[in-house]
Structures are given as structure tokens and as C-alpha cells.
Amino acid sequence: MRLMSPGASPCPFCALPRERIWRESAEAVAVFDGYPLTEGHTLVIPKRHVGSFFELTMEDQSAILRFVNEVRMELLHRFQPDSFNLGLNDGPEAGQTVGHCHLHLIPRRRGDVPDPRGGVRWVIPSKARYW
């Protein structure tokens, strides 16, 4: 991973210590989240420093999504979750706190919350329940 331009504060994802990376492709790396929601919560981070997923080329987006599938398979093997949430906070208003694109792959287990219906809809709790 590379650092941002000289004089800029280093991006925490561009300056990742090598030992944090547990899987890598030509376009992205996988690291366990520093503040995991569940066991195996992983961040998939493009190697190219862009703030938004939509700043990536279509080829890079496709390659990163293929990599997400590889990471998912490894998480299935290592942690045996029942399901997954795949999340992308794209921009500060969507909750993005690090200005480097990254996807959350969150293993889920039966019973980890009382009622998982709605999943990512709960980012706006007043609109989540539609059933």
C-alpha cells in the first residue's frame, strides 16, 4: 500500500502494517476490522486510494467484488457463519469515517440479534421497519 502525497496526513488504509493484511489480490487487501461487529468482520480495501467506490473503474469494481467473494469463502471456512452483511459507507453523510473506499464483510450468526429483518435498512431506524 502507498502513502498519500507528501505533506498530507497518511491515510490509515494506505499505511497499513503488512501484518494486518490476511488476504491480498492485485487490486485490494483484506484486513480484520479494528473494531469488529462480529468475529471475522473484515474490511476489503482497494489498493488505489479513492474516497468512493464509484471513483473506481468498472474493471476495478468488478475485480474487488470478485475478491470479496474469495474473502467470503475464506470466512465461511474459518468462522462458519450462517449469513453475511456486505456494507459500503460511501461519503460522510452515509457514515464513512475514513476517506478511503472500503467494504465491510460482516459474518452473521443465527441468534446474534433478536430480529435481523431489515439488515442495512436500520441505518435510518425510523424507516427500517416496513413489514
Could you tell me which residues come within 8 angstroms of residue 127 by beta carbon, excluding any fewer than 6 positions away?
A: 121
Active site residues: 102
Ranges of each domain in the chain? 18-113
The rounded distance, in Å, linking the Cα atoms of 32 and 121 is: 24
| Fold classification of 18-113 (topology level) | HIT family, subunit A (3.30.428)
User: Which residue in 6, 28, 1, 30 sits closest to 17, CA to CA?
Assistant: 1
User: Are the CB atoms for 70 and 23 separated by under 8 Å?
Assistant: yes
Summarised one tens digit per residue, pLDDT across range 7-45 is 556 899 999 999 999 999 999 999 999 999 999 999 999
The pLDDT score that the predictor gives to residue 7 is: 52
Provide the pLDDT confidence category of residue 5 given band limits of 50, 70 and 90: very low
Overall average pLDDT of the 92-115 stretch: 96
